Amino acid sequence: MPLILDGKKAAEALAAALQEKVKLWPAALTLSVIQVGARADSNAYIKAKTAFAEKIGVKVELVKFPEDILEEIVTSAVLERNNRTDIQGIIVQLPLPAHWDADVILENIIPEKDVDALTAKNVKNLLAGRAGLMPATAAGILKLLEFYGLPLSGKRALVVGRSLMVGKAIALAFLNQDATVTICHKKTENLAALAKEADILVVAAGRPALIGKDCVKAGQVVIDVGINEVPGGKLDEEIFGRKLVGDVKFDEVSPIVAAISPVPGGVGPMTVAALFSNLLDLVGNLKY
């Protein structure tokens, strides 16, 4: 059987380390989460963030606006929190209403409080390969691989998915760790053959059962980022309370590969933990 990359276990270890750092901060640390609307998935993600924050001793301020709020009011809420010394990090929960330009809202967050690392300065740092924050899913995967002592340098990595926040961010994070990276998408021809060539296969497509035994080979590390709600999935008690599967046919792929992250309990908990690692990294740069 393969090594199971247990994100809950790795996140627990990270939580313990972060808790120690929080204790060193002389005042309460507060993360502000701004939510527009009340999507069930957003509520679940916020619940997971709040639970992790409680565990490590960080306060979460949840600012909730109705779906029909004016963009200017949300912008004002961000700008006001940029200037508050009692708030160290700001997240605008995505997705925002479909007709809004999320980038316009996000760019109001000062980089010093941009825990999600989605403002232009942080994205440019990632592109340039400079040290700095990166989006939480990419950071969480790096930490998961590190926890299990799996190196990236010199490895051939293949990432399925090219969204800015997830697929591209992971690909860039891997490239910055000296992996040789291929990115795939819907127009990629012969995905299975390409996937088989990789040492590390990361799947972030949001398509249940996309990756089966035809896409993998012995010795590979498989990271399943996908979160898909399906009737027959595994119950995720911690975060969603729903039945979830990833993008990989776990039962079919796991007997073949060397290591694999499950869904739930793989990348999800690490994404939440990495967010707070980002917060503590930001705080570490402050003088007090």
- DSSP three-state, residue 143: helix
User: Minimum distance from CB of 194 to ligand NAP (Å)?
Assistant: 10
Q: How far apart are CA 7 and CA 112, in angstroms?
A: 27
d(CA 100, CA 93): 13
**Which residue of 93, 271, 277, 278 would you call a contact of ligand NAP, by CB under 6 A?**
271
Nearer to ligand NAP, 80 or 237 (CB): 237
Please list the active-site residues.
49, 93, 116
Helix (H, G, I), strand (E, B), or coil: what is residue 236? strand
Q: Environment class of residue 72 by beta-carbon count within 10 Å: exposed (0-12), middle (13-18) or buried (19+)?
A: exposed
The yes or no reply on residue 162 touching ligand NAP (CB under 6 A) is: yes
161 binds ligand NAP (CB under 6 A): yes
Residues 124/126/128/129 CA torsion (nearest 10 deg): 160
Among 73, 79, 186, 212, binds ligand NAP (CB under 6 A): 186
Alpha-carbon span 284 to 281, nearest angstrom: 5
Task: Return phi, psi of residue 156, to 5°.
Answer: -90, 120
Rounded distance, CA 173 to CA 165, Å? Answer: 11
Which of 123/267 has CB closer to ligand NAP? 267
Kindly identify the residues of this chain, within the stretch 164-183, that bind ligand NAP according to CB under 6 A: 165-167
Residue from 16, 23, 185, 230 in contact with ligand NAP (CB under 6 A): 185
| Minimum distance of ligand NAP from residue 23's CB (angstroms) | 27
Shortest Cβ distance from residue 219 to ligand NAP (Å)? 23
- Judge whether 78 and 103 are in contact, CB under 8 Å: no
Options 88, 93, 119, 137; binder of ligand NAP; rule CB under 6 A: 137
207 belongs to the binding site for ligand NAP (CB under 6 A): yes
Residue 228 CB, nearest approach to ligand NAP (Å): 6
Rounded to a whole number of angstroms, the minimum distance from the CB of residue 250 to ligand NAP is 14
As given in the structure block, the two tokens for residue 153 are 């340098």
| Interacting residues toward ligand NAP by CB under 6 A | 137, 160-163, 165-167, 184-188, 191, 204-207, 210, 225-228, 267-268, 271
